[in-house]
Structure 1
């Protein structure tokens, strides 16, 4: 029997403080799994790192042995980019420390944290930073890719709130990236994904967020063609305190939703008013609601911000089958509205959904060249997600997602939010970074010329001219 990668690592990584898990070790099947049940890969080694030195050792081991290297934070990426076949998975889950400085309004977060851990710690001080909409999602993936969620219109993308990051580079060097140190890396990691190194920790800016007025408003899915144009015209002019993303989906079959609505196909919005003034929230929502028929459900109410962040966790547990497609959108003309109405009515499973996240407000306070995230001028990020727990429905949800995307892509701005893309080819990556790609490729060549960090929406190192 030939020696395994796990055995080689055990011999070479003598100072390693974390856990090395190979195919013959107990817990391997658990260690290799990621969030998307559609992804089933068999790494030669899962290395759970306990320090920056551990990270540097694993990076060096993979580099020196020519092994494929996947970096896993929360493991949520739809395309399974946090794992690989036959290579090394650098697992950050042990690095889940959270340190809040309430006076400085900052939080230092380990690269292996999930957002729920951060939200709970910052909420104790009445503070929060923008993230996504599911609290089990890893911090690193969202933070490096951009970060769209309930606080976007008020406080920007997650990347707009990164003050610094501590990284391990492809050569094993440990560096800090900030506005004052390694400024090229600081620019690149804010939207450029995991292309440039492994982030041991982030320092985020915090904002006063405690109680929010949040929840969904649903109409029958048959009214999508009526509801979406009103939302389109309403949200961009709404005050920044009011966030709302549009959705088509099904009512979850559980409390607090009325039983008579369970599994009903609906369209609507999910609100988040940043504040606890329910009367003011209602006043701001009123122009939208008054322009439409009586909804099936109008559910916004005061809640702790972490409760909103975790509201979808039970609907989307680990191991469901997922297939994603996405686009940035500038305009939603009538023909696009009709396509949303068509595919919303054809939802293949009750967990399948499509969302339109607003990109305006604080996001537009930055120019497209200010960070690697290029689409500052877009107005929405669209995502189509086929989801179901049954592997037998994998082809069904994939076909609906791809058909939905193909029908709407002609109305897109060109690229997509990289955190919501599958493995769709290099042209899609180029389109998603636009004019920023050339600068990213030069920075990649400076810090990872061998493209060790290639399991991502990959930015290829610029070649020497």
Structure 2
């Protein structure tokens, strides 16, 4: 890290419309706080960017001062890649705006926007982007990793709806990436993470989604083997308008769950049906939940799509201790089911969980090489998350997560959704995540970020230039 002199810092404050916060400023601790409270890093500067001009000035400052750079959108990065000790965090959170064109069915979205901002703006027109399961997630990080959620089986990954991205590159130049312009960069942005530049806005194609059928079915945790054996057959064969992610969890002490279930360990499925907004038809579609075992709880109702997207916000607020790891699966083997059963019975804390998100259906239609996302043949994207409010339990939830992942990983496809890679995972894990696409990504990286300026991420190092 280079020295940061007061004159240069003052010039940055004058150049930016957004706030510039240093450790000497009041509000510094709040400004460096992110979603995962297990991350405790102290950047030398946090530069809030309100527009592209601010982004360019911040990048120039970081280059001139020799500061390590991190980029923060929604601040949901599990490993805390949006903060670098002693470096500069380029904070896009002031860029929270969405502009919808209902006739063209497109939305342009500021780089600091959250999923809730996008859902709010599009829902009034009966439209949506397939993206995530929690409204507080940042659009930017989720999209650049590929993006999956409730609507994936019906409409594909988030990047499958991406039409263009405005990007500020490491040298400060500004480009728009799309199928027509900078197609290699556009290919890389669709799954390659934050390796290539600062995306100041995303343009998405929108899909007709308004009211969805939402449901939650829970079974006692000791029925996990029967439920998973049923689920692995049922869901991939189901129509694409039905999705349901499998979870291991402790029942939250809140509605709609009855008090006798509060705190009990269960397995369950969270359903989203884009074709059954009618309550009676929804119940008919979900009558199958009795097949593996009698549910301990079942609830299904038509909901506005944004209401489903906010369902878990209060359960998982900012400021909890998190440790997560993930993997892709093309099948849920009997051996994997035994692992899930073992660790589901031994959840270390009430908020720790495991989710299997369906990434089949429409997400499998693009060609294997059409985007940087390298697992078009996957059926599930799994994440194991050790979570607790108490820092004293950080070691406990981390160990449970690592042990669970270590036992489950041999039954996986070998790589993970890049946004589910944890802290301190190896370069081999990043390579496994991109499979045969890694070398092409490294070549694109050499063109757009030859000095690896954007390296506070699950990094793809540029291919060395020859000669």
Instruction: Kindly indicate whether the alpha-carbon contact (under 8 Å) linking 1:144 and 1:190 is maintained by their aligned counterparts in 2.
Output: yes
2:100 is aligned to 100
Distance (whole Å) between structure 1 residues aligned to residue 7 and residue 421 of structure 2: 35
Q: Deviations over 1:358-404 (max 9, x none)?
A: 11100010122100000000111111000000000000000000010
Give structure 1 stretches of 5+ with no counterpart: none
1:7 is displaced (CA, Å) by: 5.6
Show the counterpart of 1:278: 279
* Number of the residue aligned with 1:457: 458
TM value normalised by structure 1: 0.97
- Deviation string 1:81-111 (CA, Å, 9 cap, x unpaired) is 0111000000001101111111111111100
- Shift of the 3–438 alpha-carbon distance from structure 1 to 2, 3 Å rule, reads closer
Q: Which 10-residue stretch deviates more, 23-32 or 341-350?
A: 23-32
Q: Distance in 1 between matches of 2:412 and 2:95?
A: 38
Structure 1 residue 263: deviation in Å?
1.0
Q: Is the 8 A contact 1:5 1:44 kept in 2?
A: no
TM-fit CA distance, 1:408: 0.5
Give runs of aligned pairs for residues 355-394 of structure 1, distance below 5 A. Answer: 355-394=355-394
C-alpha displacement at 1:8, in angstroms? 2.6
In 2, the alpha carbon distance for the partners of 1:250 and 1:40 equals 27
Q: What residue number does 2:216 align with?
A: 216
* Residues 401 and 6 of structure 1, relative CA distance in 2, 3 Å threshold: farther
Please give the secondary structure, in 2, of the residue aligned with 1:58. Answer: helix
1:293: Cα distance to partner?
Answer: 2.1
Partner deviation per Cα, 1:259-311 (whole Å, 9 max, x = no partner): 11111111010000013133333333333x24222201111111110010000
SS in 2 for 1:194: coil
1:15 is matched with 15
1:105 and 1:237 map into 2 onto residues whose CA distance is 30
Show the counterpart of 1:439: 440
TM-score by length of 2: 0.97
Counterparts in 2 of 1:145-224, with a 5 A limit? 145-224=145-224
Deviations 1:52-73 (A, max 9, x none): 0110111111122221100000
Contact 2:218 2:295 in 1 (8 A): yes
8 Å Cα contact 2:324/2:383 also seen in 1: yes
Partner residue of 2:426? 425
Please say which of residues 277-286 and 147-156 is displaced more in the overlay.
277-286
Secondary structure in 2 aligned to 1:375? coil
How many residues get paired? 463
CA distance in 2, matches of 1:279, 1:376: 34
Kept in 2, the 8 Å contact 1:6–1:21? The answer is no
- How far apart in 1 are the matches of 2:149 and 2:43? 32
Trace 1:57-456 onto structure 2 (pairs within 5 A). Answer: 57-275=57-275, 276-287=277-288, 289-423=289-423, 424-456=425-457
* Matches of 1:186 and 1:19, distance apart in 2: 30
State how far apart, in whole Å, the 2-side matches of 1:436 and 1:4 are. Answer: 38
Secondary structure class of the residue paired with 1:300? strand
